[in-house]
Structure 1
Amino acid sequence: MMDMSLTANAAAAIRAHARSTPERTALIIVDDLEGDGGDRRVSFAQLDAEARRIGAWLQARYPVGERVLLLYPTGFGFAAALVGCLYAGMIAVPAPLPGRYPHERSRALRIAENASVSALLTDTTNHDTVLAWAQAVGLTDPPLLATDSDVVPDADSWSPRELDRDALAVLQYTSGATGEPRGVMVSHGNLLHNVESQRRAFGLTAQTRLGGWVPLHHAMGLFGHLLPALMVGGGCVLMQPAAFIRHPHRWLSMIDRYELYASAAPDFAFEMCRARVTDSQLSGLDLSRWRIAINGAERIHAETVAAFVARFTSAGLRDDVVCPSYGLSEATLFVSADPFRRPVVTWVDEHGLEQQRFVPAEAGAALVSCGTPRDVEVLIADPATGEALSPGSVGEIWLRGPSVSRGYWRDDAPTGTTSTTDGYVRTGDLGTLHEGELYVTGRTAELLAVDGRCLYPQEIERTLRAQVPGLGIISAVFTVPLAGPGSEHALVVVSEVNGRPTEDRLRHLADEISRTLTREFGISPGTTVLLRRGGVRRATSGKVKRPVMRRLFLDGELDAVHSDRAPSMVAAS
């Protein structure tokens, strides 16, 4: 088995499989899980040949280190372009296709401008759409190439590039769930170290297939599925994210049909499967070969994990398959996990948690362990002072190690907000280490200060989802300042609703939200906003974009089907 620590760069790791096992399947692109076929299989030799063609085109035009924007749907085109960039010594910049919605088009433009890309790559199917977008936003200087066209040269035109481990491989733009996306500078060394950590932690081999539906421009899809599969050699199975959102059971069907060893998704995906997979769909599943179901990318809820396992036990799912984990782009994804065991849940005192203390108790808030940190140093620090906190304190999670990136591309943030002089990177996540395991409680930017208490929006959202029937599974809770002197803030609850939005039903739901908050948390909402399904903005990982929803609320841009505002509340603009 290849040891990534002995490999020169990420490109060399992938090329080694093209040489030693050229006919082994590198990719399976799933199109149809309802019929008898509908997939495309690509060998390592085919991937290597296409990557060398793209690499040759790039080499002929640009010096090592230029940034190249990748605008593809999930599939072979993206994988070939990514590997082609690695082969040519370019820095790949994955981005979502500029879709029909303004925020999607704006995000792609901001990434292209921040990275100062030298070229745009896409496929022939999306070429005209990307071209129209580029012309509309004035992005006309970088050339646009459809990499599956005849313009791309022969693979033999490519020549190997000598790259060291410090060379940048990817600018991975953060999801933007809590602010403006920033490009994390991921080096070849970061990739090699993190994939090696995953290989050892999860037992990955050339016989273990990975895959899933998470978009490839997101860290979980790129660093958790595609690149580990290609670098270790087990191959990757991919499906379109939209297919999962429309039909959650297709993710599980893919795991069954293609015998996936490991597949990752955010917590909300497990809840969607539990809630929307029918008995008929369940009866046709065999999940006994699924060994690692990585749950990460957002706050993990103990009840979601337990309910998912209970729902799919009859399909052969083992109770040690769901693997809570912690990771982020700044650490090239993987930070902590303990696979092949039942999830560990610790009950902690809720009042202590409000005071940033982690106090185990007989009852209270159920926190899920994200496992043991792997090959990375973790420091729990005071987010205001940067000082290390004593055991039992909840603070900001800081990371240091070979997988941790060197920072953000063109980072204009004030000194000390993204790293420290000791080489740690600040994650913006809150948590603690307890008995050697990492517990994540929320994000510093999302913590709510209400009546002198610190509350976590995820806990409020979870409680409302569980106790108010008729609400959708997606909601966003945040605070806004009240007009006038002082620093008082009012709580705003924004939630999607299921079913027909009749006036009486919506008024009842708003009343139930208020009653539940008063009963469970001793607080009242300043405003309750109900939206149709799909109205709450989420990042590509599925994370709720609470800061974005807060801005839309303040700007009066939410398309509400119902809104209740307390008489005393006048939000400051």
Structure 2
Amino acid sequence: MPAFEHAPHITDLLREHARSRPDQEAVTLVRELDRADGATTFSYQRLDLEARRLAAWLQERFPEGERILLLYPVGVDFVAAFFGCLYAGMIAVPAPLPGQYAHQRRRVRSIARDAGVRAVFTDSVHAAAVTEWAQAEGLDGVTVLATDVPGVGDPEAWRMPPTSRDTLVLLQYTSGSTGEPKGVMVSHHNLLHNVASFQRALGFTDTTRFGGWIPLYHDMGLMAQLLPALFLGSSCVLMTPNAFVMRPHLWLRMIDKHDIGYSAAPNFAFELCRRRVSDAQLTGMDLSRWRFAANGSEPVQASTLRAFAQRFAAAGFRESALCPCYGMAEATVFVSGRAHRAPVVQRVVAEALERHEYRVASEGQQARELVSCGVPEGYDVRVVDPTTRASLRPGHVGEIWLKGDSVSRGYWNNPHATAANFNAVTAEGDAGYLRTGDLGLVLDGEVYVTGRIKEMLITHGRNLYPQDLEHELRAQHPELATRFGAVFTVSPPDEEESVVVTHEVKGRFDTEAYQQLAARMKTTVSREFGIRVGGVVLLKPGSVQRTTSGKIQRAAMRTLFLANALPALHEELDAQVTHARQSQPQTPPPDLDAMHGAGEEELAG
């Protein structure tokens, strides 16, 4: 049993670390890997001091339970502010910095207004821009504070507020693949239980050093990387997402230089590394101590896992370090995973999967590879028919339902969405489940995720997963590799659905080259999936809508396509798809900025 699992609350846990290991490194931000002064570190004693200082400032001004918006780049100041909120009994609301684009600013405004925040914490570098944003968005009466300015708060004035395991710690905002941001209410108990379940599933210990580049407003960066390290009394080493996106090899070098045993990232990051890290950059790198390479937050591709393991084997990376995981904010973050083994991959008959059935593919059959996301830990898992709510037998695909202490109590100030997704009851009368919206199956106790219910492509009586088409197109066309795409269907009134492929393209081409690429893409989909593509739209990088966690917003892309509001480099549509677009009601086109999710620059913080 993890030592921290039954702590009274997280504040007590961190204060104990400050007493028992005051000088140990808690969190480090690496700015320059090769400079002696290129990093900033907070020990547990310093982190406790900073948390008490900021908590005292909050307690002088607000009652317990107020929401505090945290707008920071990745770094130690965010960590101090987060724990300052906990120490004060406030509810932390992590969010991305507003940025320069309208879509970024509006999303953060939506979060601030939904949460009803009373103050905004940031750093001195961003204080002026954050203040300007707050004024422009009409957030009157909200105080903006640069927390790294000397003299803010007196740590000796701090007093421990009434705190229990049921006290809320944070609102983790998520919009999923569609919709407005919703604040998942996460308590001390949710977090302590979830990290303990995560530790049991993977097997990391207090000697495991954590680190990575994922933004700290992202549930994977905060609750599946930073907090496990601090709960265990270990250390977490951070780098900025921009540094990773610009130079992916720096992530791997940081893992080597700082002796990191656990680092997590979405699938695209592993793909980016295996394509862009050169032999020269790999020279002298030692990845043999990276024992937990967690892959999650988006569909895990078997081909990426194989290619990454092969590419970095020369640097000592072991295939058994790869840890495909499944999780979601509504369940705190972690649901399932397994370590110390090669990834488990099932080759299933693609046609059977379209009928929501599991059947192992034989040689020569058209197959899809499903990657196991490991064994659930701390949950009762059901696979349920999403329409009838009847529990399904093993080997059948349905909606994944979860029950356990890591499941949140619901969405902040949103009873309608809470009622729709939480405390669901099966047809057999089993109650208290979270409806994940994910399709999948449980086989030999392991979770396999196949897609999202709302994004399923239904064409000519077949059920196809859009991420399969998107992945195959990237695998077969170098012009699309490492970029993002969205596949969806459209139809005119009373006609069959037609498949539309939108995808970002690397580089610039002339009209003929775009035409040839579009034709090859149509051929690929026809050959590999047996369906006809009615439209291809080629886009500049950064055009595909994504959430702040990197998930493709296919519904938003469909809306923009039908409104003819996508910034197309090249477009080829057949008559039916053109008719579908023309048959839309004549309304003003959607605001592209307002609908934009997280492009690469936003996921990069």
Q: Shorter-chain TM-score: what band?
A: over 0.9
Pair 225,151 (structure 1): closer, same or farther in 2 beyond 3 Å: same
Q: What letter is aligned with 1:402?
A: D
Distance 1:394 1:323, change over 3 A: same
**Distance in 1 (alpha carbons) for counterparts of 2:3 and 2:106:** 41
Q: Match for 1:536 among 539, 544, 569?
A: 544
User: How far does residue 287 in structure 1 lie from its aligned partner after superposition?
Assistant: 0.2
Q: Pairwise mapping of residues 232-243 of structure 1 onto structure 2 (< 5 A)?
A: 232-243=232-243
Percentage of identical aligned residues: 50
> Aligned-pair distance for 1:178?
3.2
Q: Taking structure 1 as the reference length, what is the TM-score of the superposition?
A: 0.97
Shift of 1:473: 2.6
| Structure 1 residues 37-436: aligned runs within 5 Å | 37-150=37-150, 152-363=152-363, 364-411=367-414, 412-413=416-417, 415-421=419-425, 422-436=431-445
1:165-188 per-residue CA deviation (whole Å, 9 max, x = no partner) reads 111111001154333221111110
Asked whether the equivalents of residues 123 and 148 of structure 2 are also in contact (C-alpha less than 8 Å), the reply is yes
Letter in 1 for 2:214: V
Structure 1: gaps of 5 or more residues: none
Which residue is 1:558 aligned to? Answer: 566
Give SS of 2:401's match.
strand
Match of 1:451 among 443, 460, 463: 460
Paired with 2:257 and 2:533, the residues of 1 have a C-alpha distance of 47
The C-alpha deviation readout for 1:513-563, integer Å capped at 9, x for no partner, is 111111111222222111122222333333222222222222322111111
Question: Could you report, residue by residue, the CA deviation over 1:41-86 in whole angstroms, capped at 9, with x for unpaired residues?
Answer: 1111111111111101111122221111111111011100100011
Question: Aligned residue for 2:450?
Answer: 441
1:485 Cα deviation from its structure 2 partner: 2.5
Find out whether 1:484 has 2:484 as its counterpart: no
User: Mean alpha-carbon deviation: is it higher for 180-189 or for 31-40?
Assistant: 31-40
CA deviation string 1:7-47 (max 9, x = no partner): 01111111111111010000110101355551111111111
Deviates more, 1:195-204 or 1:262-271: 195-204
Question: Deviation of residue 480 (structure 1)?
Answer: 4.0
Return the alpha-carbon distance in structure 2 between the equivalents of residues 286 and 280 of structure 1. 14
Conserved in 2, the CA contact under 8 Å of 1:25 and 1:42? yes
1:88-123: CA deviations, max 9, x gaps? 111111000001111111110111111111111111
CA distance 1:231–1:460, shift in 2 (3 Å): same
Instruction: Check the 8 A contact 1:472/1:496 in 2, yes or no.
Output: no
Instruction: Give the Å deviation of 1:2.
Output: 6.0
Q: Is the 8 A contact 1:501 1:561 kept in 2?
A: no
Deviation per CA, 1:245-286, whole angstroms, max 9, x where unpaired? 111111111111101110000111100001111111111311
| Structure-2 change in CA distance of 1:447 and 1:419 (3 Å) | farther
CA 151–138 in structure 1, closer or farther in 2 if over 3 Å, else same:
farther
Deviates more, 1:26-35 or 1:229-238: 26-35
Aligned counterpart in structure 2 of residue 471 of structure 1, from 480, 486, 489: 480
The residue identity in structure 1 corresponding to 2:253 is S
Give the partner amino acid of 1:217.
Answer: Y
Secondary structure of 1:84's partner?
A: helix
Quickly say closer, same or farther: Cα 1:523–1:341, change in 2 above 3 A. Answer: same
Structure 1 runs of 4+ with >3 Å offset? 34-37, 414-419
How far apart, in 1, do the equivalents of 2:20 and 2:376 lie? 33
CA distance in 2, matches of 1:89, 1:414: 24
Amino acid at match of 1:406: R
Mapped contact 2:265–2:294 kept (Cα < 8 A): yes
SS of the residue 1:568 aligns to: helix
In 1: Cα distance, 2:362 partner to 2:252 partner: 35
Provide Cα deviations, 1:330-351, integer angstroms capped at 9, x if missing partner: 1111111110101000111111
Kindly indicate whether the alpha-carbon contact (under 8 Å) linking 2:422 and 2:432 is maintained by their aligned counterparts in 1: no
| Segment drifting more, 308-317 vs 549-558 | 549-558
Tell me the distance in 2 between the aligned counterparts of 1:155 and 1:400.
Answer: 40
CA change 1:534–1:35 in 2 (3 A) is farther
- Residues 267 and 299 of structure 1 are in contact (CA less than 8 Å); yes or no, is this contact kept in structure 2? yes
Q: Is the 8 A contact 1:460 1:477 kept in 2?
A: no
Given that 2:457 and 2:489 are in contact with CA atoms closer than 8 Å, whether structure 1 keeps it comes out as no
Contact 2:201–2:375 at 8 Å: present in 1 too? Answer: no
